[in-house]
Amino acid sequence: MITIDSLAKNFLAPSTTKRGLSFRRSAPHVVKAVQQVSFSAPNGRITGLLGPNGAGKTTTLRMLAGLITPDAGSMSVDGIDVVSRPREALARMGVLSDARGLYPRLSARENIVYYGMLQGMEREAAHARAEALAQMLEMKALLERRTDGFSQGERMKTALARALVHDPANIVLDEPTNGLDVLATRALRDALRFLRTPEGGGKCIVFSTHIMQEVERLCDSVVVVSHGRTVASGTVGELLAQTGEEDFEEAFVELAFAEEFKQARAAGAAA
């Protein structure tokens, strides 16, 4: 189980002003990337982190993966605090980030086995696990090929296998279908549906997206994030009922852009 409570993260960003044909750097300003994100993702379920671009989804998942230290709030994986015990927490996760960096001179199998050994697996066990994952992800034909020149779908499958090689109880994916064609997207959905079942290990799966159809077809529960905050959570049906909408896209727009609508109505009233 993954639990995130009142997470926050600010960044300092440089400011520039234009004077004539040149730009001049001024004092940096604070960017509130994440302000108040909270949710729980249980085992055996797929939890979608849904929000528009710039909502704070990727920053939240990078903090969960131990890549960024939060300014406030807490994160735990199977009861293990990510900040104070990062190595133990990361050992319980398989993370597929938006940067699917594979070693181009290594084959798909070598990429997977190497990552397994970094996770403390014996070489023989990592090879056996690579075979099993190749079967599940329908990528046996890719195993002995160098990843240099792989298509986006082939890279995704290899990166996902690498993230799963140590059989983690929790899987975290950041917009995994970006750049994938229809067949590759369907294969990924099928793999995630299997992994959440008892036969697939009953994994806790969290993935971020801004695509409504993915959420409707795949997610057991949804966390809507906007302007760095959790603004709603529940099943698709519960969010439809909350907004009184019949179309999930309309419900999402109402939830994620409530602040913009409020400001627009206030501006209209003032005019």
Q: For the chain, give me the number of helices (H) and strands (E)? A: 10, 10
Asked if residue 179 and residue 160 are part of one domain, the reply reads no
Distance CA 100, CA 18 (A): 36
Last residue of a domain, one of 167, 195, 221: 167
**Together in a domain, 87 and 174:** yes
Q: Counting Cβ atoms within 10 Å, is residue 212 exposed (0-12), middle (13-18) or buried (19+)? A: middle
Structural domain ending residue among the three candidates 150, 167, 184: 167
Q: Which domain holds residue 149?
A: 101-167
Q: Report residues of the chain scoring pLDDT below 50.
A: none
Strands (DSSP E) along 168-268, which ranges?
170-174, 204-209, 221-226, 229-234
What gap in Å lies between CA 232 and CA 239, rounded to an integer?
8
Nearest to 78 by CA among 185, 186, 151, 172: 172
Same domain, 12 and 86: yes
Asked whether the beta carbons of 77 and 170 are under 8 A apart, the reply is yes
Question: 183 and 75, same structural domain?
Answer: yes
- Give the CA count within 13 Å in the CB-facing half-sphere of 249: 4
Longest dimension (CA), the chain: 72
**pLDDT value of residue 265:** 56
Number of structural domains found in the chain? 2
Do 79 and 206 belong together in one domain? yes
Does residue 175 share a domain with residue 65? Answer: yes
One domain, residues 173 and 137: no
Q: How far apart are CA 8 and CA 71, in angstroms?
A: 6
Give CA angle at 80 (120, 174), nearest 5°.
75
What integer pLDDT is reported at residue 19 of this predicted model?
A: 66
Domain of 75, CATH number, reads 3.40.50.300
Q: Give the predicted TM-score (pTM) of the model.
A: 0.85
